[in-house]
Amino acid sequence: MRSVVGALLGLIVGADAAWAQVWLSVADSEGRFRLEMPVPFDLPPAQVAPDGTVTFAYVHETPELALRFEVVDGSEAMQAPTMLVNRVGERERMVQMQAHVVGRRTYRAVAIFPPELEGDATILRFMQSVRYNDAVD
């Protein structure tokens, strides 16, 4: 029995950080999107631009990593296609972004991190967790 408990503890200690971390599922009340965010995360107050565009975001930040899921409700319908930008170098930081446009709403999943975290399991889990339900809009 002790060997089984020891083996299980070894697996838990050796588990990938993304799976060892606590995550919560996040979705809007209309069912338009769903994603997983690592805990802790914030929902800062929505920002309203002079043209009526409303932006809100779910944000997880550590000294090395920032994960943001932004929702932008514009005053006019957008025509931009769904896009994926895998890597954009910015001196000592890298940016990975996915954008999805449905009508006047734009969704952006953004990860900002140092180059040594490229391919990190936490970033991958966050980016791959985003799901959209375009039929609701």
Does 75 fall in a domain? yes
Give residue 102's pLDDT: 86
Give residue 109's pLDDT: 95
Residue 42 lies in domain = 17-136
Distance CA 28, CA 48 (A): 19
Strand partners, 34: 27, 131
Between residues 86 and 126, which one has the greater pLDDT?
A: 126
Does 51 fall in a domain? yes
- Is 86 in a helix, a strand, or coil? strand
Does 6 fall in a domain? no
Distance CA 69, CA 59 (A): 7
Does 7 fall in a domain? no
**CATH number, domain with residue 44:** 3.40.1000
Query: How many domains does the chain divide into?
Result: 1
Sign of torsion over alpha carbons 14, 16, 20, 21: positive
Does 4 fall in a domain? no
Between residues 102 and 7, which one has the greater pLDDT?
A: 102
Does 10 fall in a domain? no
Per-residue pLDDT tens over the stretch 18-75? 557 899 999 988 899 999 999 999 998 899 989 888 899 999 999 999 999 999 998 7
